[in-house]
Amino acid sequence: MKICKKCIQPDTRPGIFFNEESICGACLWEEEKIKIDWKSRKTQLVNISEEAKKLSTGPYDCVIGVSGGKDSTKQAITARDELELNCLLVNYQPENITELGRENIENLKSQGFDVITIRPNPKTMKKLVTYDFLKHLNPVKASEFPLYASTYIISEKFGIPLIIQGENPGLTVGASLTGVGTDSDALKAYQLQTLSGGWKEYLNVDGISENDLFLFHYNVQKLIDMDVRGIWIQYFLKEWSYRGNADFAKKYGFQERKNVNPEEIGTYVPFAQIDSDLVHVNQMLKFVKFGFGQCMDHVCYDIRDGILDRKSAIELVLKYDGNCSDNYIEEFCNYIDISRNQFNEIIEKFRGDMWFKEKGKLKNKIHQELEKELENL
């Protein structure tokens, strides 16, 4: 098992890579950022925007997928105010959206944007969420398809020449082995880790037809033939980080969680993934499968940004990673009509090999390694 020498990311993340010095891809990207000619990249972004304005034959120059969260607020405001693009926003509404999530998307609308809200058939989504939990232990997998595909579909149907996505996970989490690459081309979003398995798998679900899955995929070749361009805006912006984006978004009315209890959500960060409580359950399930959850993700971001030292990061992970309130778990069980005992039985089928039992108690090899390191810090 490898743990990054710079942050504390383990090698159990799907698609992650490490160099010979045991430094993960995300930390290597942080090193690379220092060498980038950001003025040149900003010029490229301006040129792409100007080209979109020339190609546009309707009221919109670009389409942007938004949740109302920190990153999408940054994308929308930057595209409109800095790049002077006429923007159409597409909001994928998650199942069981939180009240705070609803307030944040309404806030973004109030900033003066045209917005289309997409919500797949709730009965279809329930079937797919249940299938993905039972088949992959990933109940948010189904939502990733329309979350991404909706912007590409709207681009094609409305003839909008530019699609602006936020960050490329190939850079941010160092998972470039997914095939999405580390460049600016967001037309390849279908190759992301969660999406690369393909939407057609859902045709195996009882009662699901291809018509039910219209919002779950896009025709990339058709977009290429239409000269549509898709970009990860993160690739062009020096001022892009998860805390920086949160501070930016707050200036425009974005709200973070109040009175955060890390024991309930598995992280100390109040501004990430706040539009659906299902995320907390999924992060706990990720912890079962891969040995780390969202607290690990967040401390690694903060180490790279110079906000946390290694010792503090390890302490936070050992204390909070993988935690999830029973209320969120019960809510999820009720949603897919299973008992808590059934839930527990299912997750054990997917428990990763980094787990072992010692004196009858489950232990995590990643945490074990971090505990050893902590003793020497």
190: amino acid identity, one letter: Y
Yes or no: say if 180 and 171 are a contact pair by the CB < 8 Å rule: no
My answer on whether 67 and 207 are in the same domain is yes
User: How far are the Cα atoms of 195, 210, 222, 290 from residue 214, in angstroms, in the given order?
Assistant: 15, 7, 15, 31
Host domain of residue 270: 266-375
| CA 130, 135, 136, 141 torsion-angle sign | negative
In terms of domains, do 230 and 93 share one? yes
Domain contains 12: no
Note the pLDDT of residue 18: 92
pLDDT tens-digit readout, 165-221: 998 876 766 545 444 457 899 998 877 656 666 899 999 999 999 999 999 999 999
Domain count, the chain: 2
* Residue 229 sits in the same domain as residue 275: no
- Last-in-domain residue among 187, 219, 236: 236
Q: Assess if residue 21 is contained within a domain.
A: no
Q: Tell me the pLDDT of the chain averaged across its residues.
A: 93
Task: Locate 254 and state its tokens.
Answer: 């974005």
pLDDT score at 196: 64
Last residue of one domain, picked from the residues 215, 236, 257: 236
Predicted pLDDT of residue 16: 87
Do 229 and 274 sit in the same domain of this protein? no
Q: Where are the alpha helices (DSSP H) in 56-98?
A: 70-77
Q: How much is the pLDDT for 178?
A: 46
For the chain, what is the largest distance between any 2 Cα atoms, rounded to a whole number of angstroms? 68
CATH code of the domain containing 189: 3.40.50.620
Q: Are residues 202 and 311 in the same domain?
A: no
CA dihedral 58, 61, 66, 71 (to 10 degrees): -170
Whether residue 20 is contained in a domain is answered as no
Q: Report yes or no on 245 lying in a domain.
A: no
Q: Are residues 79 and 202 in the same domain?
A: yes
Structure confidence at residue 150 (pLDDT) = 95
What pLDDT is stored for residue 174 in this prediction? Answer: 55
Residue 244 falls inside a structural domain: no
Contact status, residue 356 vs residue 365, Cβ threshold 8 Å? yes
Residues 157, 289 within the same domain = no
pLDDT of res. 194: 62
For the chain, list residues with pLDDT below 50: 175, 177-180
* Spatial contact of 137 and 350, defined as CB atoms under 8 Å apart: yes
Q: What pLDDT, on a 0 to 100 scale, did the predictor assign at position 15?
A: 82
- What's the pLDDT at 95? 85
Nearby residues of 291 by Cβ (< 8 Å), 6 or more positions away: 10, 12, 352, 354, 355, 364, 365, 366, 367
If DSSP codes are grouped into helix, strand and coil, which group holds residue 229?
strand
This prediction has a pTM of: 0.93
Angle between helices 122-136 and 326-336 (to 10 degrees): 110
Q: Name residue 162's beta-bridge partners.
A: 62, 229
In a domain, 47, yes or no: yes
Residues 143-180 as b/e (b if ≥16 CB within 10 A, e otherwise) read bbbbbbbbbbbbbbeeebbbbbbbbbbbbbbbbbebeb
Answer whether 273's CB lies under 8 Å from 294's CB: yes
pLDDT tens digits along 263-309:
999 999 999 989 999 999 999 999 999 999 999 999 999 999 999 99
Interatomic CA distance for residues 141 and 265, integer angstroms: 19
Q: Tell me whether residue 287 is in a domain.
A: yes
Burial of 237 (0-12, 13-18, 19+ CB in 10 A): buried
Q: Are residues 67 and 201 in the same domain?
A: yes
Last residue of some domain: 216, 236, 256? 236
CB 175 within 8 A of CB 15: yes
SS3 label, residue 117:
strand
Q: Is 250 inside a domain boundary?
A: no
Same domain, 61 and 142: yes
Looking at the fold, whether 219 and 325 belong to one and the same domain comes out as no
206 and 290 in a single domain? The answer is no
Do 100 and 223 lie in one domain? The reply is: yes
